[in-house]
Structure 1
Amino acid sequence: MSRRLRYQVAVSLDGFIAGSNGEYDWIVMDPAIDFAALFKEFDTAVMGRKTYEVLTAQGGHGAMPGLDVVVFSRTLPAAAYPGIRILNDDPREIVAALKAKPGRDIWLYGGGVLFRSLLDAGLVDTVEVAVIPVLLGAGVPLLPPGAATKLVLSDQKTLPASGIVVLAYSVPGGVGPAPRIRYIKAAKSRGRQA
């Protein structure tokens, strides 16, 4: 069975993944999110250049603990850091090859343009969004315009401390249903039962 490609993203209530200047300081953290448990669900992360540059601007070199990181870019030089591959090949071909290999799920870490390209190619299996209770008014949209894609709700959790709502959707025709949201501790759950 093929591995799932899971797009996980924080989004403002009005549909933006970053502010007008690329800022993400509006994304609040919630103590119920167990990031160590989340990271264990994946062994590979794929992202575009802009997302990688945001990670490196935070300090460090964009590595993610326990994950092989693949960055798609036509302009970045090859990474000199272990666990990071910068590729200028067609992301659709690379992701299809990654999905065919054995392993844990693949984390589509961002951004919206890469998500749209992989979604249109039929490679995205789940869309998992953390809706942050803020209205930005403008910014970087969740994804660029394209064909409509119907999704199927698989799970949802509400985090009362922050007001975040986490939604997990399956993409019809993808590799199995979206997984249950297991990396949230002590949160209300609404959705299908295990």
Structure 2
Amino acid sequence: MKKQRNVILYIATSIDGYIANNDGTLEWLETTEVEGDSGYNSLVERIDTVVMGKGTYDVIRGFDVDYPYSEFKNYVFSKSASGSDKYATFIDEEVKTFIENIKQEPGKDIWLIGGGNLARAFFKENLIDEFQLAIAPIVLGKGISLYAGDDITQNYTLSKVEKLGQLVMLHYVKK
């Protein structure tokens, strides 16, 4: 029997649920003492596809490093870009239709990198099979929220808790 590909949201948040400052920066996370690789290496062994929003893609491309996800198939949801570039294929279609289709293709799991708007679209369509949330020991009070107060209820089961320096990694899987 063919294994269903899962969508994994692996993301860091502040205690109060913010995934970035208003401008998309993450210096608050970069200053957090972390032990090990925060589960990153075990995640990338499981995936062959990444999806993200255009804002997240632009922030990543703005880093002064080589593009970190070039070994994976990259899909970027965008209303402004089309076609593809050196790293990614741009998608302008319904999230649910697109994800349901690529989950049927052969391959490994799919990493939903972010950002907040795209994650909320996945929440609304109940498309996240697994959460790996790294909680940083900081309250930001403002920024880009992972949760926007949408009227959704979804139940997950806690499968693992890890302390990684000052981060706590919570693993949840869909019931």
Normalising by structure 2, we get a TM-score of 0.87
Partner of 1:154 in structure 2? 159
Seq. identity, %: 28
Q: Secondary structure at the match of 1:127?
A: strand
In the TM superposition, what is the alpha-carbon distance from 1:150 to its structure 2 partner?
2.5
Task: Answer yes or no: is 1:140 the counterpart of 2:144.
Answer: yes
Partner of 1:80 in structure 2? 85
**Which one-letter code corresponds to 1:126 in the other structure?**
E
In the TM superposition, what is the alpha-carbon distance from 1:29 to its structure 2 partner?
6.1
Q: Secondary structure at the match of 1:55?
A: helix
Given that residues 39 and 66 in structure 1 are in contact (C-alpha distance below 8 angstroms), is that contact kept between their aligned partners in structure 2?
A: no
Given that residues 120 and 146 in structure 2 are in contact (C-alpha distance below 8 angstroms), is that contact kept between their aligned partners in structure 1?
A: no
Partner of 1:38 in structure 2? 43
Partner of 2:167 in structure 1? 164
**1:147-166 Cα distance to aligned partner (Å, 9 max, x none):** 12222111110013xx1000
Q: Secondary structure at the match of 1:26?
A: helix
In the TM superposition, what is the alpha-carbon distance from 1:62 to its structure 2 partner?
4.5
2:93 to 78, 89, 101: 89
In the TM superposition, what is the alpha-carbon distance from 1:63 to its structure 2 partner?
5.4
**Which one-letter code corresponds to 1:80 in the other structure?**
D
Given that residues 45 and 107 in structure 1 are in contact (C-alpha distance below 8 angstroms), is that contact kept between their aligned partners in structure 2?
A: yes
Higher RCO (Cα < 8 Å, 6 or more apart): 2
In the TM superposition, what is the alpha-carbon distance from 1:36 to its structure 2 partner?
3.8
Q: Secondary structure at the match of 2:127?
A: coil
In the TM superposition, what is the alpha-carbon distance from 1:60 to its structure 2 partner?
5.7
- Structure 1's unaligned 5+ residue stretches are 173-194
Task: Answer yes or no: is 1:47 the counterpart of 2:49.
Answer: no
Given that residues 35 and 164 in structure 2 are in contact (C-alpha distance below 8 angstroms), is that contact kept between their aligned partners in structure 1?
A: no
Change (3 A) 1:98 1:70: same
Divergent runs of 4+, >3 A: 34-37, 59-63
RMSD: 1.9
2:108 to 95, 104, 116: 104
Q: Secondary structure at the match of 2:43?
A: helix
In the TM superposition, what is the alpha-carbon distance from 1:171 to its structure 2 partner?
2.0
Give the number of the structure whose residues are more often helix, by fraction. Answer: 2
2:10 to 8, 11, 26: 8
- 1:12, 1:5 → 2: CA distance? 22
Given that residues 13 and 146 in structure 2 are in contact (C-alpha distance below 8 angstroms), is that contact kept between their aligned partners in structure 1?
A: yes
**Which one-letter code corresponds to 1:9 in the other structure?**
I
- Structure 2's unaligned 5+ residue stretches are none
Q: Secondary structure at the match of 1:6?
A: strand
Normalising by structure 1, we get a TM-score of 0.79
Report how many residues are paired: 169
Partner of 1:182 in structure 2? none
In the TM superposition, what is the alpha-carbon distance from 1:101 to its structure 2 partner?
1.3
Change (3 A) 1:142 1:127: same
